[in-house]
């Protein structure tokens, strides 16, 4: 058995895989945050809570209706997206003319409501969610064992991330979206219904969070607290990557997940804070973030 | 971004600051008399909790209300100062006054570090950065040995203040806390009314203009941040003495959110708003504790209502409606 840098390869690759999975979730969530921020100029604090709601919808579907994982993958993001559109229509849309910080405060309140309500109903302990039959088992890659489900999560989130990137950067709809980000008034003058587009963008962004929640359900337990602790790390990821580019959000998310995994191998005590330390260093060297531009 | 946006809408804040001297003096007199008489009518520990949070909220308001900086990580200063005070008094056997000094100094240092990192970005980014940094402090508090993890530092002795006053007596402790609060409030009052405070307000209103007038705005913001952090630390250290406990609760992001709510509810940018907000939130929470309603849901609901309908806060609304003082 050979060692890599004094660490058995199983441990190293195992943690790297774990980091890659965490990174996939960071990427999915920071992608949603970036899409929403680009269009609405709102930092969606409720993003983590809606990720949790996505996971809970999956769990509720299974527990009460017997609908399995694949249905949940479809239904949960739809539900979360619709909730998001309702929130945008009734509340967020009233705040666009004000300081952006009010959007943060409002979504913070919403996050407390969602989290508090689920916590009140289901307690703090996690609910287990089974891995779907088709994805049980794993592959022996020689240097490590890869559970199928984890491989699926990494592949699925990469596909979603790059699909979103493609849709925004390379399609006509994406072009409208980017144009409306730059100058909503002008785009509206060209006959595009910008308010509807804004609602749909928010719905899409939070649907991504809901989808991430379903993907996460079999890996982490479904718990009311799963979202908020994650969202703060994702905020740090967003600050590191900068809000400038979609691709930046994806790359930074994955990269920081891996970095966290590596820290767990070599200096586990620091694994909780490494992302924040990186954030501080990036801010001191390049305040706009790695991929950002100063707004 | 800073040039266009005002967090406070139209300006009740400026009015309070300029407010008529007699009205303010009257308000002070009544408030002080009420505060002195209060422990004979209400439970002193509850009042001390209100005072600690009121000072905390006032310190937070110094940033958001007068410099336009939304810190979402103030629990880091509050909580780590509580740990420092508790550790100094319990483990090192320091007198309470030195424990509080150490807590304030520690929070000031932490504020300097946070400030140096966070003031490099503005607006939403500033909020996210302070939140992330405070989460780092939370993880440190969870892992460092001297904080005793989930248990916190328990059974902190209150000791003798200046070697004379036994803080074990509830009334002595109460008046000490009241004196600390008044001192902290006076510092904030003085800061807001000083030329330094005027520059801060100029930065809040229009930072590029302040820069073009030759002010090094980063230095002003940093100083305001450190001052706010120190006072938040003073509040946290005092709370550790009052409850004889420093725990993880005080460093969580929920605590940061709570102080935002107190300030928002009372009125950002008004001097008395945070005091009113702190009183209301603490009262509400102690009431909710005896019911089965989930506290975070109620708090979140108030947040949403405040942001949507009530952005000036209670004191802000009152000031805006006072005859002859509205614009």
- pLDDT (0 to 100) of residue B4: 40
Annotate B108-153 with DSSP letters as a single string.
Answer: HHHHHHHHHHHTTS-HHHHHHHHHHHHHHHHHHHHHSGGGTTTT-E
- CA gap B94, B86 in Å, rounded: 10
Nearest to B299 among A91, A112, A295 (CB): A112
In this prediction, residue B234 has a pLDDT band, given cuts at 50, 70 and 90, of very high
Count Cα atoms within 13 angstroms, Cβ side, for A13. 13
Mutate to test the interface with A, among B141, B300, B309 (most CBs of A within 10 A): B300
- Determine, yes or no, domain membership for A52: yes
- Determine, yes or no, domain membership for B81: yes
Q: Looking at chain A, which residue has its C-alpha nearest residue B69? A: A101
Beta-carbon separation of B307 and A295 below 8 A? no
Closest CA to A30 of A16, A15, A51, A55: A51
Average pLDDT over residues B208-219: 89
Segments forming the whole domain that contains residue A266: 15-122+180-285
Nearest to A269 among B123, B143, B307 (CB): B143
In this prediction, residue B19 has a pLDDT band, given cuts at 50, 70 and 90, of low
Beta-carbon separation of A276 and B136 below 8 A? yes
Model ipTM value = 0.83
Beta-carbon separation of A106 and B308 below 8 A? yes
The answer to whether residues B87 and B79 touch, using CB atoms and an 8 Å cutoff, is: no
- pLDDT (0 to 100) of residue B13: 44
Beta-carbon separation of B132 and A232 below 8 A? yes
Beta-carbon separation of B294 and A119 below 8 A? yes
Beta-carbon separation of A113 and B300 below 8 A? yes
Q: Is it the case that residue B117 has pLDDT exceeding 80?
A: yes
Which residues in chain A are closer than 8 Å to B296, comparing Cβ atoms? 112-113, 115-116, 119
Cβ partners under 8 Å of residue A187, min gap 6: A176, A179, A180, A194
Backbone angles phi, psi at A43, to 5 degrees: -85, 115
- Determine, yes or no, domain membership for B257: no
- pLDDT (0 to 100) of residue B324: 56
- pLDDT (0 to 100) of residue B327: 42
Beta-carbon separation of A273 and B136 below 8 A? yes
Residues 115-174 of A with CB under 8 A from B: 115-117, 119-120
- Determine, yes or no, domain membership for B239: yes
- Determine, yes or no, domain membership for B148: yes
Nearest to B128 among A112, A239, A269 (CB): A239
The answer to whether residues B83 and B156 touch, using CB atoms and an 8 Å cutoff, is: no
Residue pairs between chains A and B whose CB atoms are closer than 8 Å: 130
Helix, coil or strand: residue A122: helix
Q: Which long-range contacts (CB under 8 A, 24 or more apart) does A263-272 make?
A: A264/A15, A264/A18, A264/A19, A265/A7, A265/A11, A265/A12, A265/A15, A266/A5, A266/A7, A269/B143, A272/B139, A272/B142, A272/B143
The tens digit of pLDDT for each residue in B79-105 reads: 999 999 988 888 888 888 888 999 999
Number of domains in chain A: 1
- Determine, yes or no, domain membership for A141: no
- pLDDT (0 to 100) of residue A183: 85
Q: Is it the case that residue B152 has pLDDT exceeding 50?
A: yes
- Determine, yes or no, domain membership for B119: yes
Average pLDDT over residues B295-309: 88
pLDDT in tens, chain A (295 residues): 456 667 777 778 888 888 899 899 999 999 888 888 888 888 888 999 999 999 999 999 998 988 888 988 999 999 999 999 999 999 888 888 888 888 888 999 999 999 999 988 888 888 888 888 877 877 777 777 788 888 899 999 999 999 998 988 888 888 888 888 888 889 889 888 888 888 998 999 999 999 999 999 888 888 888 888 888 889 888 888 877 678 888 899 999 999 988 888 888 878 888 888 888 888 888 888 788 765 4
Mutate to test the interface with A, among B297, B299, B302, B309 (most CBs of A within 10 A): B297
Closest CA to B274 of B189, B166, B148: B189
- CA gap A143, A4 in Å, rounded: 12
- CA gap A200, A48 in Å, rounded: 19
The answer to whether residues B129 and A283 touch, using CB atoms and an 8 Å cutoff, is: yes
Average pLDDT over residues B188-213: 90
- Determine, yes or no, domain membership for B131: yes
Segments forming the whole domain that contains residue B64: 42-251
The answer to whether residues B270 and B172 touch, using CB atoms and an 8 Å cutoff, is: no
| Pure H helices in chain B | 12-18, 21-37, 44-66, 75-90, 96-118, 123-143, 170-193, 195-205, 207-212, 217-243, 253-266, 273-288, 295-309, 313-321
Beta-carbon separation of A98 and B311 below 8 A? yes
Angle at A285 between CA A281 and CA A287, to 5 degrees: 95
Beta-carbon separation of B297 and A112 below 8 A? yes
The tens digit of pLDDT for each residue in B45-73 reads: 888 899 999 999 999 999 988 888 888 88
Mutate to test the interface with B, among A96, A108, A260 (most CBs of B within 10 A): A108
Residues 205-234 of A with CB under 8 A from B: 228, 232-233
- Determine, yes or no, domain membership for B94: yes
Number of domains in chain B: 1
Residues 276-295 of A with CB under 8 A from B: 276-277, 279-280, 283-284, 287, 295
The answer to whether residues A277 and A238 touch, using CB atoms and an 8 Å cutoff, is: no
Count Cα atoms within 13 angstroms, Cβ side, for B292. 2
- pLDDT (0 to 100) of residue B233: 93
Question: Helix B217-243 crosses helix B195-205 at what angle (to 10 degrees)?
Answer: 110
The answer to whether residues B90 and B153 touch, using CB atoms and an 8 Å cutoff, is: yes
- Determine, yes or no, domain membership for B31: no
- Determine, yes or no, domain membership for A165: no
Beta-carbon separation of A283 and B120 below 8 A? yes
Q: Is it the case that residue B108 has pLDDT exceeding 90?
A: yes
How close A116 comes to chain B (CA, Å)? 5
- pLDDT (0 to 100) of residue A110: 93
- Determine, yes or no, domain membership for A226: yes
Residue B60 burial by Cβ neighbours in a 10 Å radius (0-12, 13-18, 19+)? buried
Residue, of B91 and B17, whose pLDDT is higher: B91
């Amino acid at each position: 058995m050979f060692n890599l840098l004094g660490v058995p390869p199983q441990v190293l690759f195992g943690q790297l895989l774990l980091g890659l999975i965490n990174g996939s979730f960071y990427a999915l969530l920071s992608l949603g945050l970036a899409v929403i921020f680009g269009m609405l100029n709102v930092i969606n604090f409720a993003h983590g809570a809606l990720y949790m709601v996505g996971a809970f919808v999956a769990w509720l579907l299974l527990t009460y209706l017997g609908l399995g994982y694949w249905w949940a993958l479809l239904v949960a993001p739809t539900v979360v997206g619709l909730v998001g559109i309702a929130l945008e229509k009734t509340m967020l849309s009233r705040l666009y003319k004000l300081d952006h910080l009010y959007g943060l405060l409002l979504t913070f309140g919403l996050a407390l409501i969602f989290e508090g309500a689920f916590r009140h109903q289901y307690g703090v302990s996690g609910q287990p969610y089974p891995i779907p039959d088709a994805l049980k088992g794993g592959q022996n890659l020689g240097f490590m064992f890869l559970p199928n489900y984890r491989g699926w999560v990494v592949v699925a989130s990469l596909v979603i991330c790059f699909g979103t990137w493609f849709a925004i950067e390379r399609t006509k709809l994406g072009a409208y979206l980017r144009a409306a980000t730059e100058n909503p008034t002008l785009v509206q003058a060209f006959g595009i219904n910008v308010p509807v587009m804004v609602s749909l963008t928010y719905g899409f962004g939070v649907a991504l969070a809901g989808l991430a929640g379903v993907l996460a359900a079999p890996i982490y337990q479904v718990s009311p607290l799963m979202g908020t602790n994650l969202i703060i790390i994702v905020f740090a990821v967003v600050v590191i990557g900068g809000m400038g580019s979609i691709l930046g959000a994806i790359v930074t998310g994955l990269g920081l997940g891996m970095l966290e995994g590596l820290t767990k191998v070599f200096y586990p005590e620091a694994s909780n804070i490494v992302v924040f330390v990186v954030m501080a260093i990036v801010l001191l060297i390049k305040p706009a973030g790695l991929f950002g531009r100063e707004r | 971004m800073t040039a266009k946006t005002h967090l406070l809408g139209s300006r009740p804040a400026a009015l309070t600051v300029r407010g008529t001297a007699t009205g303010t003096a009257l308000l002070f007199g009544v408030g002080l008399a009420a505060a002195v008489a209060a422990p004979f009518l209400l439970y002193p520990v509850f009042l001390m909790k209100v005072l600690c949070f009121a000072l905390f909220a006032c310190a937070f308001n110094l940033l958001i209300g007068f410099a336009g900086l939304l810190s979402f990580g103030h629990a880091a200063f509050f909580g780590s100062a509580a740990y420092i005070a508790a550790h100094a008094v319990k483990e090192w056997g320091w007198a309470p006054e030195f424990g509080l000094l150490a807590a304030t100094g520690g929070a000031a240092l932490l504020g300097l570090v946070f400030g140096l990192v966070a003031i490099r970005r503005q607006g939403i980014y500033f909020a996210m950065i302070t939140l992330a940094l405070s989460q780092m402090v939370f993880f440190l508090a969870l892992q460092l040995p001297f904080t005793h993890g989930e248990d916190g530092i328990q059974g902190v002795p209150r000791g003798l203040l200046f070697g004379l006053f036994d803080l074990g007596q509830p009334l002595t402790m109460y008046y000490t806390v009241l004196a600390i609060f008044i001192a902290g409030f006076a510092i904030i009052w003085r800061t807001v009314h000083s030329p330094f405070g005027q520059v801060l307000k100029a930065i809040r209103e229009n930072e590029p203009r302040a820069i073009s007038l030759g002010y090094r705005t980063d230095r002003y913001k940093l100083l305001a941040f450190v001052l706010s952090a120190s006072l938040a630390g003073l509040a946290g250290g005092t709370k550790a003495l009052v409850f004889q406990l420093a725990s993880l609760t005080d460093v969580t992001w929920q605590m940061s959110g709570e102080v935002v709510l107190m300030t928002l509810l009372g009125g950002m940018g008004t001097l008395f708003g945070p005091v009113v907000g702190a009183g209301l939130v603490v009262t509400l929470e102690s009431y909710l504790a005896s019911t089965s309603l989930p506290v975070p849901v109620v708090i979140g609901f108030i947040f949403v209502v405040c942001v949507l309908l009530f952005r000036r806060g209670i004191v802000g609304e009152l000031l805006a409606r006072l005859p002859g003082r509205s614009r």
